[in-house]
């Protein structure tokens, strides 16, 4: 039962992304509907159940744990979970405990996160324009997020910005965002918008801005050097020689990044998605609750990994959206 998790394509699964809640204090247009119906709280795994699930994955070889949502820091008593997970950092079984956040609660939690062993956070921020920020998040307030980033850096956390490339929205801010990150000693990753959720409300074709075009614009102003390093995720990186900063590109639509995929995603209800771009899933809540012994749970995890597909089917070719996922990003975890 101690054998590592290896999928059918001989990829070792060492990275688990865990959504601890589907709730969020923003309503970003590419992630959620404005009037979301959230899961009843009774359907969510308890923090203790999340601990047991994550600990089982760590025992089976997961070395990187990223906490997501929704917005993970709006989950009640979430620091109890982070503090509990820190024991795996102390033992050396877990190499990294981190989170992706919208930044709204960082001012409140940055010091506690650092104390729990978190050393890096990804902050999702698509614009530095206060009105545009309000538009894209519907409910968000930019000054609150900027204070959170300040607090995170002051606490000693390394901050990386994640920005979704949105055609006609943040194109004019490309260089402003890059240079703002450089001035703050923050790396930056650009992400292509993915065809998930209700396309009737937000047309992904109109939003889609190819990162090939974004990179071409960067190369017209800066000297870009390709980097071979990987951080356990799908991003490909360059260094901007003029600033020294690292820029990442997550391009599921113009470049399939699946060949080295080492990650799976666990939802707050105990569903395990073996691929962000496929609907295949496994129920881990049932075996978790059927027995206090972890044997059933471990077997269920191994059976799920055997079903991990080779890759996703996202495609924007021919002006249609193929491989569209009906679930919202907030369900699976960002």
Predicted confidence (pLDDT) per residue in 163-191, tens digit: 999 999 999 999 999 999 999 999 999 99
Whether 239 has a binding-site annotation, put simply, is no
ω into residue 257 within 30 of 0, thus cis? no
Res. 318 pLDDT band, cuts 50 70 90: very low
Residue range 81-91, pLDDT digits in tens: 999 999 999 99
The pLDDT of residue 65 is 97
Residue 265 labelled as part of a binding site:
yes
Half-sphere exposure of 291 (CA within 13 A, CB side): 9
* Residue 325 pLDDT: 43
Does the annotation list 54 as a binding residue?
no
Is residue 275 part of an annotated ligand binding site? yes
Mean pLDDT (whole number) for 193-207: 55
What's the N-to-C CA distance of the chain in angstroms? Answer: 30
pLDDT level of residue 113 (50, 70, 90 thresholds): very high
Q: What is the pLDDT of residues 61-76, one digit of tens each?
A: 999 999 999 999 999 9
Give alpha helix (H) positions in 168-322: 174-183, 204-207, 211-221, 285-290, 295-305
Domains in the chain: ranges and CATH:
15-159+258-332 (3.20.20.70)
Is residue 24 part of an annotated ligand binding site?
A: yes
> Is residue 276 predicted with pLDDT exceeding 70?
no
pLDDT at residue 278, as a whole number: 63
Provide the pLDDT for residue 118: 98
pLDDT digits (tens, 9 = 90+) for 25-38: 998 888 888 788 88
Q: Residue 198: pLDDT above 60?
A: no
- Of the two residues 211 and 41, the one the predictor is more confident about is 211
What are the C-alpha distances in Å from 302 to residues 257, 263, 273, 307? 23, 14, 13, 9
Average pLDDT over residues 101-127: 97
pLDDT confidence of residue 190? 97
31 is in an annotated binding site: yes
**pTM summary value:** 0.87
pLDDT at 32: 81
Q: How far apart are CA 246 and CA 100, in angstroms?
A: 18
Pairwise CA distance, residues 113 & 121, whole Å: 10
pLDDT reading at 147 higher than 80: yes
Q: Which one is predicted more confidently, 17 or 251?
A: 17
How much is the pLDDT for 327? 42
The rounded Cα 164 to chain-centroid distance in angstroms is 12
Residue 268 annotated as binding?
no
Residue 233 pLDDT: 64
* pLDDT of 272: 96
Q: Is residue 124 part of an annotated ligand binding site?
A: yes
Confidence of residue 277 (pLDDT cuts 50, 70, 90): low
pLDDT at residue 102, as a whole number: 96
68 assigned ligand-binding residue = no
**100 belongs to an annotated ligand binding site:** yes
What pLDDT was estimated at residue 3?
A: 77
Average pLDDT, the chain: 87
200 is in an annotated binding site: no
pLDDT in tens, 279-299: 678 999 999 999 999 999 999
What integer pLDDT is reported at residue 83 of this predicted model? 98
The pLDDT assigned to 201 comes to 44
- Asked if residue 265 has pLDDT above 90, the reply is yes
Give me the count of residues in the chain. Answer: 334
Residue 204 has pLDDT above 60, yes or no: no
Spatial distance between the Cα atoms of 100 and 69, rounded to a whole number of angstroms:
8
């Amino acid at each position: 039962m101690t054998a590592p998790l290896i999928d059918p394509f001989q990829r070792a699964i060492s990275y688990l992304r865990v959504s601890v809640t589907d709730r969020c204090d923003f309503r970003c247009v590419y992630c959620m509907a404005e009037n979301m119906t959230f899961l009843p709280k009774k359907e969510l795994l308890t923090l203790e159940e999340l601990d047991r699930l994550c600990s089982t994955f760590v025992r089976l070889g997961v070395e990187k744990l990223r906490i997501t949502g929704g917005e993970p820091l709006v989950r009640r008593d979430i620091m109890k979970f982070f503090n509990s997970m820190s024991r795996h950092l102390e033992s050396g079984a877990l190499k990294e405990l981190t989170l992706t956040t919208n930044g709204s609660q960082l001012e409140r939690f940055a010091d506690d996160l650092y104390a729990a062993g978190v050393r890096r956070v990804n902050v999702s921020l698509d614009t530095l324009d206060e009105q545009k920020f309000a538009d894209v998040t519907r409910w968000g307030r930019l000054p609150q997020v900027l204070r959170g980033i300040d607090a995170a850096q002051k606490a000693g956390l390394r901050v990386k910005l994640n920005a979704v490339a949105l055609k006609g929205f943040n194109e004019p801010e490309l260089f402003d965002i890059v240079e703002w990150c450089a001035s703050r000693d923050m790396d930056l990753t650009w992400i292509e918008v993915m065809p998930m959720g209700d396309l009737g409300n937000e047309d992904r074709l109109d939003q889609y801005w190819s990162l090939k075009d974004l990179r071409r614009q960067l190369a017209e102003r800066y000297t870009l050097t390709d980097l071979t390093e990987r951080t356990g995720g799908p991003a490909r990186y360059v260094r901007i020689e003029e600033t020294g900063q690292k820029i990442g590109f997550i391009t599921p639509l113009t470049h399939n990044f699946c060949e080295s995929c080492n990650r799976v995603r666990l939802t707050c209800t105990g569903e395990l998605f073996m691929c962000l771009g496929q609907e295949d899933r496994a129920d881990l809540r049932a075996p978790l609750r059927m027995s206090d012994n972890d044997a059933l749970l471990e077997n269920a995890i191994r059976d799920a990994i055997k079903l991990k597909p080779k890759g996703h089917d996202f495609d924007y070719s021919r002006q249609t959206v193929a491989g569209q996922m009906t679930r919202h990003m907030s369900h699976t975890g960002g």
